[in-house]
Amino acid sequence: MPVQSDLTRRALIAGMLGGGALVALPRAASALDVAGARKLVNSVVDDINRIINSGEPETKMISDFEAVFSKYADVPIIARSSLGIAARSATPAQLAAYTDAFRGYLSRKYGRRFREFIGGKITVNDARQVNGFYEVISTAQLRGQSPFDLRWLVSDKTGRYLFFNMIIQGVNMVATERQEIGAMLDSVNGNIDALTKKLKTSG
């Protein structure tokens, strides 16, 4: 399965980095509860199911997925966490430009992967508290494939419920992107402006 094989080849690295990635991610405020976290992910899943079964061309689907990430994901936190320690040396303007480019990159990359779910469905099964955030557990069911696990990590650090990570069959999205973004940054000799430019055509 394309989604599985593409992600799984980095599973070991992602698993090793997963704990470190979570350290940089937000702690939930006291108002966060299981019901609110589950409601958020139900909304995300409803939108994704609608998009993947809409019959729209890929360009329109990718645009719709970008709207989903903008509405439901804590993109600034995901972007900063993926950039890692390099974020400390970025100016506010550089970080804002990088975050905007990263949003498009993330939407194209994962939008294309979700597009491979066409004809399938994602179903929310359960939610639970994990330290300072909540994990919402769902199952992806694809035509002709065995169902697989898709988990969403949710916080309300921004004042509203947003997901700040996805774990697909045990593969941590933020940890994987930290590895990918790190490699891209190395390829441009640590230049954040060049990384931002590169992200605009990646994904």
Q: Could you report the per-residue pLDDT of 137-162, keeping only the tens digit for each?
A: 999 888 778 888 999 999 988 888 99
CB-based contacts of 84, cutoff 8 Å, min separation 6: 24, 178, 181, 182
Which residue's structure tokens are 């399965």? 1
Q: How confident is the model at residue 116, as a pLDDT?
A: 74
pLDDT value at 31 more than 80: no
Return the structure tokens found at 174.
């933020």
What pLDDT is recorded for position 160? 87
Question: Do residues 125 and 149 make contact, with C-beta atoms less than 8 angstroms apart?
Answer: no
**What are 52-82's pLDDT values in tens digits?**
888 888 889 889 988 999 999 999 999 999 9
Q: Which CATH number do you get for residue 73?
A: 3.10.450.710
Q: Where are the beta strands (DSSP E) in 21-74?
A: none
Name the pairing type of β-strands 162-168 and 121-130. unpaired
pLDDT over 80 at 169, yes or no: yes
- What is the Cβ-side half-sphere exposure of residue 84, based on CA atoms within 13 angstroms? 18
pLDDT over 90 percentage in the chain:
53
Number of domains in the chain: 1
Residue 111's domain comprises: 2-199
| pLDDT, average across residues 124-128 | 92
